[in-house]
């Protein structure tokens, strides 16, 4: 599933390619996504100009000229592709396929602009679109979400207060969107490794300096991942059609039984399961 950095890469691509453009037509080929698309979806977006492309957590937010909004969640396998002309059917970003050509039977929603087409492709159909008529409606959607790691509210005081008397392990807290928005399984493992924190430790036992390291390293890891174009898992492509490069810098994720990369550490990376998700950690660095 694309996490915050990968969704941010898609946002940057959309901002560059469709901001200020008029949606001439919306074609829905399959309404049966994670949440069924309403029958009026096409009408609500047709002939609207796109004023901005934003992101919150793992959600893309398409802002329309009349201050209405359309959010997009990519789910597990949803991808967005920009087709610039009929002669070039290659996607300019995100592809989960070995072939550069899109399997059209999974093209569920298409947006038509002048000289450009945006295609939403989703084999598993866990992603979805939702229209909001005003900002207050949009705000309610995210009212129970925690702050993003980049938000000033995600600070030492916030973590210390949130973790008081909490038995849940710190890895699961990093995945809890009510606590912090946007961190997924890959980056949670990397953040905890960099912070030298065992993923299984109950949050209430974390020390002040450990909480501080989580704040600092969450931002550090995510910023670096965005800079590197995201992580290529299942052939993820960045805005230029190239693979993301952050996976080359993974210290623990996907490195089961391999040597720890930390200087002077003789540890080995172990894979464990927490809440049906894979977690990777160094047996020495993260005691």
Q: List active site positions.
A: 2-3, 58, 277
Distance CA 53, CA 175 (A): 25
Neighbouring CB atoms inside 10 A of 115's CB total 8
The tokens describing 66, both together, are 């009349």
Distance CA 70, CA 67 (A): 10
Measured torsion, CA atoms of residues 276, 220, 254, 279, in degrees rounded to the nearest 10: -30
Q: Answer yes or no: are the C-beta atoms of 225 and 231 closer than 8 Å.
A: yes
Maximum distance among all Cα pairs of the chain, rounded to whole angstroms: 61
CA separation, residue 203 to residues 19, 51, 101, 271 (Å):
42, 41, 45, 20
φ and ψ at 18, to 5 degrees? -125, -5
State the distance between the two ends of the chain, measured CA to CA, in whole angstroms: 28
Extract long-range pairs of 91-94: CB within 8 Å, 24+ residues apart: 91/119, 91/237, 91/241, 92/13, 92/17, 92/237, 92/239, 92/240, 92/241, 93/9, 93/10, 93/13, 93/237, 93/238, 93/239, 93/240, 93/241, 94/2, 94/6, 94/9, 94/10, 94/236, 94/237
Distance CA 154, CA 180 (A): 8
Q: Answer yes or no: are the C-beta atoms of 24 and 113 closer than 8 Å.
A: yes
């Amino acid at each position: 599933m694309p996490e915050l950095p990968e969704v941010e890469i898609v946002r940057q691509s959309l901002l560059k390619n469709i901001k200020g453009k008029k949606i001439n037509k919306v074609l829905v080929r399959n309404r049966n996504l994670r949440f069924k698309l309403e029958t009026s979806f096409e009408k609500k977006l047709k002939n609207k100009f796109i004023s901005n492309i934003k992101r919150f957590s793992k959600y893309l937010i398409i802002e329309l000229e009349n201050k209405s909004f359309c959010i997009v969640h990519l789910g597990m396998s949803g991808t967005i592709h920009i087709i610039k002309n009929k002669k070039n059917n290659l996607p300019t970003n995100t592809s989960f396929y070995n072939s550069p050509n899109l399997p059209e039977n999974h093209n569920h929603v298409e947006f038509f602009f002048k000289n450009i087409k945006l295609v939403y492709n989703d084999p598993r159909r866990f992603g979805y679109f939702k229209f909001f008529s005003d900002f207050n409606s949009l705000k309610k959607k995210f009212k129970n979400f925690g702050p993003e790691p980049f938000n000033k509210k995600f600070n030492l005081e916030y973590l210390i207060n949130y973790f008081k008397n909490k038995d849940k392990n710190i890895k699961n807290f990093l995945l809890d969107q009510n606590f912090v928005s946007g961190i997924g399984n890959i980056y949670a493992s990397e953040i905890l490794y960099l912070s030298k924190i065992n993923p299984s430790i109950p949050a209430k036992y974390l020390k002040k300096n450990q909480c501080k390291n989580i704040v600092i390293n969450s931002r550090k890891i995510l910023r670096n991942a965005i800079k590197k174009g995201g992580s290529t898992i299942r052939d993820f492509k960045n805005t230029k059609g190239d693979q993301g490069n952050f996976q080359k810098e993974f210290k623990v994720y996907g490195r089961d039984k391999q040597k720890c990369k930390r200087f002077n550490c003789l540890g080995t990376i172990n894979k464990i399961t927490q809440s049906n998700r894979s977690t990777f950690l160094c047996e020495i660095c993260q005691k």
